[in-house]
Every structure is written in structure tokens, then in C-alpha cells.
Structure 1
């Protein structure tokens, strides 16, 4: 039987509400309250800023002020929405109808404001010379007032039955519902949603077309100016056969350097800490930690190679053809070694969970060291065969001096994709799927055992164990797939 309680215990005609878990209720309350407070605070700041500073009294900002007012009321109404989470309305029928009426009116006014804003942007972009004469503060104020008045009148007509007789459709005390006629609801949806959305889409599509045409015109002018003023520079100014690089904004280049450098330094430092910790402390010399050590070494090389990737941001390689091919080879075989180590980690976890009694016998330090060495040597050999043309004739595919490219044949690229991506993903998915199945079966066995020994708490036990099994399965599958994807 469903556990329910009355909204008003002293009244027999009171509505009933189903009990919810305390954690779920608290979480919903906290999330909605935070969203409501944030909405009210931010929109209040917009309202105060535009209202206080006369410099901000422009037609566009007045429209934003009206939109902020509607969103501000939306944030306030969310406090009443929190009350309806448990299915009970405690403020009476009159306040219920007023709440619904305000919600409808504010939604319609907000939609109307967005339509007016789209019209404002359309005139500003498509007819910039006529914007100041067509869009004035007085006209904007009139449009905003008409929008709010029309929203209030239309919603009054739609909810007139509920406004005349509040609570007429409530089946029990503590309920807050309104019923809108089918035809009236269809008309309201047409004028409050379909028509505004259609107008906004048409206007912004027209803006997009005009913006694209303007961008093409600007691009043509910039291209012509670049050819005349030679805004491109050589990677090696003293060589005519040097590659050219296009000038980028200083801020963009600096930001890219900072982000990539920070990621590289962080990757190197964290993986170096893992390598030092596992190598120094003998009690950490376990099979699983040795696999993690191999993965940390490969990720350390990935972090180091990112310093060379920084050099390629502006399209110039300054270290010569030999260093270019060495960089590409190391990047290829480090990535493959990392994938191979990830597969071995999944095998290690598979044996540990599915065959825990045989784990210490089958997974030993000696076998793990051999597997790690084989993995790295196999990666070096395979990638050397794939890039053998580049190793024999470095720079043969460069079209100019300062370029760093390698060419891989179609067959070699297909084989590399199968060996380095498809097979590892398949193996990891199969292994972790098997781990998930075993985890579920173990959880069911534990549930049966606990149910037999302690019948009173059987319901709680079933729910908790089933959730644990599902959570474990999801975690291992997602973590395995994400680890594989990140390494790739």
C-alpha cells in the first residue's frame, strides 16, 4: 500500500500526498531555492543598474529592463512552486488563482519582450542607418507597456472562469489546479508560443543572412588588404621556400599558450608524483600499481610532447625534419602504449573481481612486468612499421620549409585504427560488461542471504543492494570507456 498523508490532517476532505525520501525532498528544495535566489538577485542587479544610470537608458537596454522585470517575477514565483513539490497548496484558492494568473501573464509578457528585442536587433543589423530614427525610447516604452497590458488582458480572458470562482476545479482541499477550455488553450498556445517563436526565427534567420553577407564582404576586403600589405610572414624570413603563417590576435595566441602550457605542466607534475611514489615505496609494488606506473609513464611523455605541440600553434615547426619525425613517432607509440596499458588494467580488474581466489596466483609482479615490457616493445615496433616511409625519408611530404607532416597509407592507417582503437575499445567493453554482470550476480546473492537471515529489513536491503550493483556496473563501464577515450 502506498504511504500517504493528508495535507491538512484536521480535514477529511484534504488532499493526500505520497511520502518521498527525505534526501530527495531536501535536494529538490535546495536546487530550486538556489535557482530562485540566483534568478532574483541577478535580474535585480540588471534592473537597478539600468534604472539608476541614465547613460544606460537606450532603447535596447529598456527592452532588457522589461525582460529582467519579467524574469525577476519568474524567480519570485519559484518560491511558490517549491511549495507544490509535495503536492499541497497551503495558501487558499484565491492565492492559487492569482499565482497561476501571474505565471501565465509573466510568461506571455516575457515572450512578447523577446519578440520586441528580436525586432530591435533586426532593425539595428539590417537597417543600421535608420535605427536611430525608427527605434526611439518613446516608441520602445509604448511597445513595452502595450506588451504587458495585452498579456494581462489576454490571460484574464483565458482564466476568467477561475478568477470568478477560485477553486472550482479542485477535487480536494489543498489542491491548486486550473482548467482551460480546449479552444481557448489552443488559441493561447498559438498567440503565446507558436506565433512568437515563428516571428523570432524568421527575424533571426534574416539577421543571419545579412550577417553572413557582411562577413563575406569584410573577408574579401581583408583578403585584398592582406595581399596588398603582405600581412602574412615567413616562418624563416631568410628562405623564400619557407612556409607562411597568418598573423593572429595577440590575446588569442597568448591565451592558447597559457592554457596548453598549464595543462602540460600539470600533466607532467602529477604523473611524475605517481612515478616517484610507486617507484620509491616498496609496499606499493603491487601488480595493479605497476600497471598504473606504466600508464603514468606514458601520460608523462604525453605531457612532455605537449611542449612541442605549443610550437605548432602558429603553424611553424622550427626544429627540422628529423626532430619532426621523431616527435610524430614518439607521439604515436606513446599513445598506443597507453592504450595497451589501459587494456591490461581492465584485465587486472576483471580477474580481481570475477576470479578473486585466483588473482594472487594468476596476476603476479613478474607477469605484469613482462606484459608491460611486451606492450611497450609492441607499440614501438608497430608504429615504426606504420611510419617507416617517414623514418626513411624525413620531410618528404613537406610542401615548404617549416612544415611538420607525416603521411600514412590507407592500408596502414586502417590497420592502425583497428589495432590502436577498435580492438582496445572492444576488449575493454567486453571485460567491464563481464565485471558488471558478476557484480550484479554477487549483489543478488548477498541480497538473498541477507533476506533469509533478517526478514524485517528485507525491503531496505533489496533496494540498497540493487542500487549498489547498478552503481558499480555503471561506474566501471563509464570509467573504462572514458579512460580509453581520453587516452586516444
Structure 2
């Protein structure tokens, strides 16, 4: 190897340079330099403007000043990417760690500032009379200072292992590697991205609703002279909210790709030489599955979107049924149990993102517990579907006895027993894996759970085929009774004394039809997973199984609340109250949703 192919030819153990064409290096260097200078200059102009002119010393502009400082730092840090075009870091291990700290601090400060901007616009639009008292320049400055301080402290805590011994994870001289443990990586993704984005989405959702209502009110009062000035002020505030909303949206869109790609490969900061292994520093590590970057990015974005959408939709249903007293019916309590299971599925879906490269980074114990959670939520969902079928069977076939037989208390007891039995059953089935986690793994980074052939057959029968048979029998009976009652109602359409009773029975049958769609879609989505699992004695949790065996099961959890929103008007009304923060009112629990 010639010395020119090494980062440091005079040092033994030097890293190799990445071979690139001179034209590419020149073009990339010019582009990065131009982008760096342009970013720094434009943000510097904004910094000088807000800092110098007293008229611009408003709370909103102070937040923009914080964002401009972060963007200015990003512009300067972009210059360090130019020497990295050949894959070499020339400034030493200490500067490598500090470089990454600066990058993460500016990113976290930017996200924190976006949250503060969302809070500022939320108060300005939703509580305009209180805005001057609540949001002052002093409070905005304190918020910015806390944002930067917390970002720095958080990053130092996350990078403490790298600060103690810089270069500890580098494989050769000229390598710039920082390392986070798998647990720290998951915490970092949640704390520094998903939680702030959720807060921003909720606040701007409320701002959007209020802005639309204000727009309608202003158009209807355009000729009102005394309200003209007030309308102009509110219009300027809404225009500012719209402008900053565009800034927030573009920021989230740009950053989501970075976090999705990062979530897809928690070990991406490891050296390139070991990049084909899950854990390059461990002997006996599993090899990674080779996938194109475009596939990994697309799959990561899709899984992240599906996870967030599933969790948010089911959380709306959980809040609706839990908060409003009018929805505390036996049937809705069963829907609440199903929504909790689907919400857990949405959160567990995030763990599928790192599995895209076929590696499990959280250890053998977490592998077993992850699989237990997946199976418990699935069994609880199937058990809840059986309870829903029983509920509809009694409501349609024995309507006069339904209020006495199916009470909210009994439905709650049934839900508790369903979840308890699911957990106990899964622990018994997984006892061999719990005694010695990783016992059936062939290499480090593999996540394998094993069931004996007998246990596998019992699991298929008990957790799927028997419940499905019960559901089929009950809904078959419901269908027969519903058809006969439909004929009877059509023949008695002119009977006045039975009108109210007919309406009640019609609503019950409509509920049965809606829940029948839910049950049918559930079985349809879950059947391929159980059919596929019959072909083997053990389940490998990797990208292939996640994509082909569990995707439909995961997607079903997202479909359920969409079905409710389509068929149930009360769910649509409750969503509107939640999004407009109407649930915070004192008497909101007694709101009429029917």
C-alpha cells in the first residue's frame, strides 16, 4: 500500500483514505464551502438585525435569534466536512469528540427552540389577551438560556464515555468515532426528536384549528368598524404563526430523514472496517444484512410514520373513552382494551427500525422481554375480540337481558382477566427462554426465541384457532338473528308503539356491524402471521420476519381507530374536543357526544 493511500503515512495503524475521483472531490468541496459561507452569512445578518434594532426585541424574535445562532454554528461546522471527504479526521481524538458535541448541541438547541416557538404561537393565537403578560422578552430569554444549557448538559451526559477516553472506539489513526450504547441511542431518539415533535404537532394542531375559526369570524365581521384594529392585530399574529409554521415544518421534514436513518442503524458510528458486523468489537458477532441505503431510508421513514400514526390514533381513542363519562359503556371498555393493545403495538413498531439490518442491539434479556410484549399484546387483542363477540351476541340475541348481564363492571373484570391470562400464558410458554436468555442465539446481535414442537402446536391452537372458532360461531349467530330482525322490522315499519324499540335494536345492529368489520379485518391481518409461523419451530426477529410475518398485524393496529372514526360519530366529536383542548374544561367529562 502506498503512503498516499493512508491518512497518516508516517504512523503505524493509520486508516485508509477513501478513493474518490478528483472531479468529485473538487465539486463537493466547492459546494460545501459555498453552502457553509451562505448559511453563516445569512444567519449572521439575522443575528445582527435582531440584536441591534430595539424594535425587534420581541419574544418571538428572540426565539428566532436563538435559532439563527444555532444555524450559524451549523454553517461553521459544515466546513469540517470538507476534509472528511477522503474519510480521514486530521484534528485528533479530542477534537473529534468536541466536534460531535457541538453538532448535537446545536441540533438539540434548534429542536428546543422550535418547541418554544410553538408555545409562543400557541399562546399568541389561542390566548391573545394574555399573551403580553405571559410571554415577555425576559421570559423568552430565560427559555432560550435554559434550552441551550439543557442541550449542553444532556449531550455531555450522553457522551460521557467518549469524553473519559477520546478515541476509545476508533480502530485506526484518522478515524473519528463516537459511540452510544443501544439503550442511550433509543433514549436519545425519543428525548431529542420524537417527544419534541409530538409537542410541536399538538400545539400547532390547536393553533391551526383556532386560526381557521378566527378566519371565518373575521370574514363575517369584515364590515364591523370597532373591531377593525383588533382584526388587523389578530391577522398579523396569524400571519406570523403561518410563517413560523412553515419554518417548523421544513425543519422537521429535514431532520426526520437524519433521525430515521440514525434509528435504522444505531451502530452507524462504528468503524467502516467492521461495518459488516453487528458488533465489530465482539468475537462471534452476527453479520449485517446488506441493504441499499435508499431501501433503509424508505423503510425507516415508513415504519416511523406508521408507528407514530398508530400510537397517536389509538391514544386519541384511549383519551376519548377514559375521559368522557357518556362513553363508559361495556362495549367501549372493550374498545379501550383493544386501543391500549394497539397503542403498545405502535410503540413496539419502533424496535423494528434497527432490525432492518438484521441486528438486535439491546441484548438477550431485552430480546425475550420484547417478544413477550409482542405476544402479550397480540393475545390480549385476540381475547378482547372474543369479549367483543360475546358482547354483541348478548346485545343482539338477548337484548332484554343485555343491561343486566353485560355491565361496565363485568366488562372491566373481563378485560383485566384477559390481560392477566395473556401475560401468565406467555410467561409459561417462554419459561425456557426466560431462564437463560440468548440460549438459542447463534451469534451476538441475534434475537431468537424458541418453542418446543408441542408448545408450538398448543400456542397456535390456544392463542388463535380456538378464539377464531368462538368468534366465528358467535358472529354467525349474530348474523342470523340480525337478518331475521331486519325482516321483522321492515314488516312492522308502520307500527307506532314499536318505533322506539326498533330504533334501539337498529343502533345495536349497527354497532354489531361496525365491530364485525373490526373483527374481520383483525383476523384477515393476523392470519398470515400465524400461518407463516406454522412452517417453523422458532421465530427469528429480523427484518424479513418484521416485513412479511408481522407487518399486517402491526398495520391492523393502525386501521382500527380509522374504522372507528369512519363509523362512530362520537369518536370524531371527541377528537375535535381533544385537538381543540376542550377536554381541559371543568365540565368536559359530561359532554354530550351521542
TM-score normalised per structure 1:
0.47
Q: Determine which structure has greater relative contact order: mean sequence separation of CA pairs < 8 Å that are 6+ residues apart, divided by chain length.
A: 2
Q: Which protein shows a greater Rg?
A: 1
